[in-house]
Structure formats: C-alpha cells, structure tokens
Structure 1
C-alpha cells in the first residue's frame, strides 16, 4: 500500500489514507476490524513483507523483518480503493507513531487482515461502549454501523477537550467524552467508574470495550461478575499496557484473552 494523504483529525490523532493495486479484493464491511501493519526499517523505502507458505507466513531474515503493529480500519472506501487508519501521536513516539507523523504521499506500508470478531450485536436493545484514544477508531466505526433505533452509551476517554472528534452516527447512543485533564491525569479508573455509574437498562445489551489492559479487564469483570452479562455479548480487547511495547505485551495480552471467562 502507499500513502495517499495524511491529515490531522485532532492534535494527537492523524488519519493516514492508503491506496494501491493491492487494495483490490479487500473485504467490504471491514470498518473497525483489526489489521496488522508492517513498517519499513531505517534505510528501507518499503517494508520487506512476509510471504505465504504452506504452513503460514514465511518471514524475512531478522535484520530485514518489518516492524509489526496492530491497528484498526477506521474506514474502507471500496469504490475508491482507499483505506483510512487513525494513528495516535504519542509524546514518547514509538515506531508506528513516528512513521505516521512523517508519512508523505508515496510512502510504502504493508498490511495484513482484516480479522477479529464483530464489535457489536447490532440488534441488541442497548449498547455500552468504552475505550481510550487507542480504541476511538474502533468505537467510532462501531457507532457509525448502528441502526437509527440503537440506544445506549459510549464512554470515550481522551487527554483533553481538544481530542474530541466528530462521529457521524444515525443511532441514539449518547457519546460521553471523559477528559483526563479534568479528572486527573493519574486516575486509572475513569472509564470503569463511568460504566458503573450508567443506569442499568432492561433488555439485551451489547458491550464493546477496548483500550488499556487494566481498564478493559476491570470493566469486563464488572459486566460479567456483577451484572451477569453473557460472555458472547461482550467484545473486550486489551490493546496495550502502560510501560510495555507491543512486543513486550504480546504474550501477556494473549494470556489475558485466554483467561477471560
């Protein structure tokens, strides 16, 4: 894929639009799905991608292996052959954030996917969504996919009011922006307490929870153990953990996912 454009959505969120001949056949209805992006190493103009062998991916030698990160399809424009990915720009920028900040039309990036389960049960009576900026693209895509009759609450944690962004949803889901600078930047339970304070509705409920590991696990435990919500009604994925890189968090994330009941 090649970069077509890079546009600031908010001060800390950059939207990169990708295109290219390899977009042909990318599945429609993939907004909000997980993808793997492959970034070039220093000195490369494009990443060296794995190939598909009889037993799965065959990776290039370690000194040529691309940097791999997990992201979300923000929006797929099948008719135009374009794909949008939103990147959070961090102060302590990692490889993906640094690549996005410097992205220019013509730059190359690799992509695999999409994958992952459905984020929402669209015909549920109520929806609850919760996540931080890393989950904002997935939550926004989920909200935009809901029908006009859908009701519920979406809690989105952002550093400050400047990170609020427009989400075009036809649904009746109320969006609550939680500003860390107002609540205290060191507070770790902002999302959990917001979900706990939500009036519990009657009827079926679909939960979409993503973001930092501690918050995701705490909210999921509340929904399962205290509210008795069926596990099949919950999409809960810990995207990251404070102080750990994606490589460092990889095994722990899978352990957490395997032990979620």
Structure 2
C-alpha cells in the first residue's frame, strides 16, 4: 500500500504533518485502536527502484539499497476524502523518516504496511494518564480524542520549548502539562518521571499510556508501578527511540531493552 503526498507542512519545529492521498490508499482501513501506526518504508539514496515496489524483491538487494522501515503513528484518517495524516518527528537531517518528511513535496510517494495498534482508552477506567515526548505526541493526541466523554485525562508531554506545544482536544476532562527540556543538560532521563511524580494521585482505576524515549518511559514506568498508581495490566509502555543511538543502533538493541525492562522488579 502507498500514498501520495497531498501536503507537507511543519506542525512544530520537531514535527511535520504529512497528508497522503491517491489511488494507493483505496484498500486502507483504520482499525479500532487509538494508537494506530503504519510501518513505512523510507528509501535510501542508493535505491535503484521507486514506490510502489515489490516487498519480496527488495529484500534480495544489498543492505544499502533496501528500504528502512519505521513505525509512524496515524494521526487521522479521513474516510470521505480517503486521506491519511501522519505527524512525523524530525531531528534535522538525522533519521530517514524525519529527513523524508522535512523534504516531502506534493506527489512524493510513501509505501507502508498496516495499520496496526495496541491501545485504546478502555471504557472501564476511571481516569487516564498519557505520557511521552514529541515522538509520542501524535499517539497521545489520538488517544486523548478517544477517551470517554467527561472522564478525567491528564497528558504530560515533553517538548523542547513552548514552540513545540500543540493544541490537544478530548471529549474527556483534559488537563495538559508541558515539560520543556530547553536549557537542561543533564537529568533528561528523569524529566517526565519527575513531572508525573509531582501530579496529584488519581483516584480509582487508572489506564496509562507511556511511550517515547526509552530511558524516560522506563523511569515513568517505575514511578507508576512502584507507587501503585497503575496496575501493570493497565499500563501501555513502549520505547520508540533511545537518546544517543541512531535508528539502526536502537533497532539492534530494542528487543533486549524491552525484555530487561519487563523483568525489572516494581516493588
């Protein structure tokens, strides 16, 4: 499946909103989860092919010619217009996804598989906690929009500075806390955990969505589980990236990291 760029524009200094359309989306169907994502394939400069391409055929090419897969959150799907909106995090010229998004032009094509997902704010929770950085902001925004009407929902989001903030909406009773890292040179791994620990303790059954930078999600997980704020089965916690590692280096160690975190005592 693939889409053609309809528009691409900066949403913040760290996020680019890309809208895809075209006949390559004829069979696209959005699932029920709020954190839907598509597995996109970004072509290297040396690629001797273009979108659409045969998935099986490109696997036989040398590594430097094969596409780089990246999971990108579905920010919105317009069923009537058949248009898919992706908000893609950028880090200058680092990373294939961000570099592609920063330079995307109408008519450019992006191939992907999916969508898939794993979380939707459950109807039986009393309140909701959504935590992450820019990489998780699109998913947090989508989850906030899926909260049952009138339920308390708190979002704690780390961005560089005020320019990275975006308006969020929710049918729930939404409270947003922005955490700025500008000017901080140490303690970055604990920024979100400190902000979450400072919140008033929510009453009742809490459902939490904690995604983003690996060390930060791990630190937030410790706060939530060790304080008994969230039961393990009601915590969706996933590391998207790791500070100090590029995409490929992180992909090489991510599975081991996830296993290590899952085995960590919470008491």
Conserved? CA contact 2:33–2:118, under 8 Å: no
Counterpart in the other structure of 1:18:
20
Conserved? CA contact 2:213–2:240, under 8 Å: yes
Conserved? CA contact 2:42–2:69, under 8 Å: yes
Give the drift of 1:26. Answer: 2.0
Deviations 1:126-156 (A, max 9, x none): 1111100111001001001112222031100
What pairs up with 1:1-261 in 2 under 5 angstroms? 1-28=3-30, 29=32, 31-42=34-45, 46-47=50-51, 49-51=53-55, 59-62=59-62, 63-181=64-182, 184-188=184-188, 189-227=190-228, 229-259=230-260, 260=262
**4+ residue runs of structure 1 moved beyond 3 angstroms?**
47-52
Conserved? CA contact 1:69–1:96, under 8 Å: yes
Give the drift of 1:218. Answer: 1.3
Of the structure 1 ranges 153-162 and 108-117, higher mean CA displacement relative to structure 2 is found in 108-117
Deviations 1:66-117 (A, max 9, x none): 1221211111112211111112221352222111111001111111111231
CA distance in 1, matches of 2:120, 2:259: 18
What is the aligned length?
Answer: 256
CA distance in 1, matches of 2:171, 2:113: 30
Tell me the secondary structure at the aligned position of residue 170 of structure 1. coil
Conserved? CA contact 1:32–1:141, under 8 Å: yes
CA distance in 1, matches of 2:193, 2:12: 25
Of the structure 1 ranges 233-242 and 18-27, higher mean CA displacement relative to structure 2 is found in 18-27
TM-score by length of 1: 0.89
- For structure 1, which runs of at least 5 residues remain unmatched after alignment? none
- For structure 2, which runs of at least 5 residues remain unmatched after alignment? none
CA distance in 2, matches of 1:49, 1:236: 33
TM-score by length of 2: 0.87
Conserved? CA contact 1:38–1:47, under 8 Å: no
CA distance in 1, matches of 2:85, 2:123: 23
RMSD: 2.2
Give the drift of 1:49. Answer: 4.0
